[in-house]
Every structure is written in C-alpha cells, then in structure tokens.
Structure 1
Amino acid sequence: MADDLAQRADRMLSLWSDLSMRHVALGGGCACGTGGISLRLEDFELDIVGYLEDVGLRCDVLEVVDFFNALQKSAAQDQPLRHLLHEVQQDRLPGVVAEWLLPKIERTLTSFFELHGAGAKG
C-alpha cells in the first residue's frame, strides 16, 4: 500500500510542478478598464493546504486531527503542498493520514488541471 501511495504522490508532485508555473488571469474582462491581475497557480498553495488543514481538523479520524494539530504547531514550511506530498512519497506519514490526505490532494489538483491544464492558456 505504501508503494501505491508513493507512486500517487509522485504523480501529484509532477502535476503540481507543471500546474504551479501556470498563470491565472483575474479581472481581465472587467468593465473598469484595468488590465487585470495575473497570478501563478503556485500562489494558491497555501490556500490548498489551509483547506486540507481545516477539513482535517474537523474530520472524525483521530490520527488526521492529531497530524494537523501538530502541523499547526510546527514552523511554517516553504512550499507546504510539496512538503506534504514528499512526506507521503517517502512514507513518513502515518498510513491513515496519507490515505486520508492523498485523495483530497488528487481531487484538488485534478480540478486545477481541468481548469488550467494542458489546453489552458498561461
């Protein structure tokens, strides 16, 4: 099972590496006449991890709640999504936590890919 999780985490790391460099235009069609704002998808990394943390702290799986409580108390990580995926890939998370976490990351990154992936501009 750990090998499967590691392979899935590796795929998600590759996908995030590709997606994080893409840009999203915000407000480009606005009637106010401003040129709009362009963000890299990487700018959403903290939001993704914040969402995972929020859901994790409210879930019924004690190991997941404990993991996110400990994560809140630890020093902030640069590139926290990559860090979580590396931890899964290297089998450094409790199996229950990795099995809870990875499907949520996969859904999130798949959604980003569908919106901003291969055929998207940016």
Structure 2
Amino acid sequence: MADDVSQRASRLSRLWSELAMRHVALGSSCGCGAGGVSLQLVDFELDIVEYLEDQGLRSGVVEVEKFFRARPTSEATGLPLQTLLEDLERDEFPAEASEWVLTRLERTLKSFAELHGRRQQGES
C-alpha cells in the first residue's frame, strides 16, 4: 500500500509541476498578459488545498478529519499543495487519509490537465 500511495503522489507531484506554470485564460483574453490579467495555475494552489481541507473537515471520515485538524491550511506557508504531495510521497499519513486526499487530488489535477494543461501532440 505504501508504494502505491508514494507512486500516486509522485505522479501527481510531477503533473502539478508541469501544470503549475501554465497560464489560465480569463474571459475573452489569454492569461498570458495580452489584453488581460496574467494568472498561472500555481496562483490557485492555496485555493485547492483550502477546498480539500474544507471538504475533509466535513467528510464524516474520522481519520480524514483528524488529518486536516492536525495540518491546518491557514498555517501553510510556501507551496502548500506541493508540500502536501511531497509528504504523501513519503507516506507519512494514515492510509485512510492518504487515500481520501489522493483520490480528490487525482480528480482535481486531471481536470486541470484537461482544461489547461498538457499540450496535444502536434501543438507548438
């Protein structure tokens, strides 16, 4: 189980690193700064972790609630999503909490990849 958690977290960490610097299209202009405000997905890192924490604290799953009470996002500094993924890679959390967090992060980051992320073959 530990290898599975570690491998999944490692894949997500690589995906997030790839996605984090991508620009987000805002309205009718591109987020790259041409006619609009420049935002990157990394600007939403804290929002992602805060959303996870909020859902976790209301999940009704004891291990998940304990996990987020012990690790409040409000005290996070730096890159909270990257730090969370690195801690998951080291398999530092109870299995139930790790599985809950990984499942939601996989869904979230795959959605970002579909919407903003990976270039298709043939794109420049």
* Secondary structure at the counterpart of residue 38 of structure 1: coil
Match of 1:59 in 2: 59
* Secondary structure at the counterpart of residue 24 of structure 2: strand
Match of 1:92 in 2: 92
Match of 1:118 in 2: 118
Structure 1 residue 10 displacement after superposition: 0.4
Structure 1 residue 110 displacement after superposition: 0.0
* Structure 2: runs of 5+ lacking an equivalent: none
Structure 1 residue 37 displacement after superposition: 1.2
Larger strand share, 1 or 2 = 1
Residues 56, 68 of structure 2: 8 Å contact kept: yes
Q: Given residue 25 of structure 1, which amino acid in structure 2 is its aligned partner?
A: A
* Structure 1: runs of 5+ lacking an equivalent: none
Aligned length: 117
Over the matched positions of the two proteins, sequence identity in percent amounts to 56
1:2-56 alpha-carbon deviations (Å, 9 max, x no partner): 1011001000000000000111131335xxxx92112010001011001100100
TM-score (ref. length: structure 2): 0.86
TM-score (ref. length: structure 1): 0.87
Residues 1:26 and 1:65: Cα distance change in structure 2 (over 3 Å): same
Q: Given residue 41 of structure 2, which amino acid in structure 1 is its aligned partner?
A: L
* Secondary structure at the counterpart of residue 25 of structure 2: strand
Residues 73, 80 of structure 2: 8 Å contact kept: no
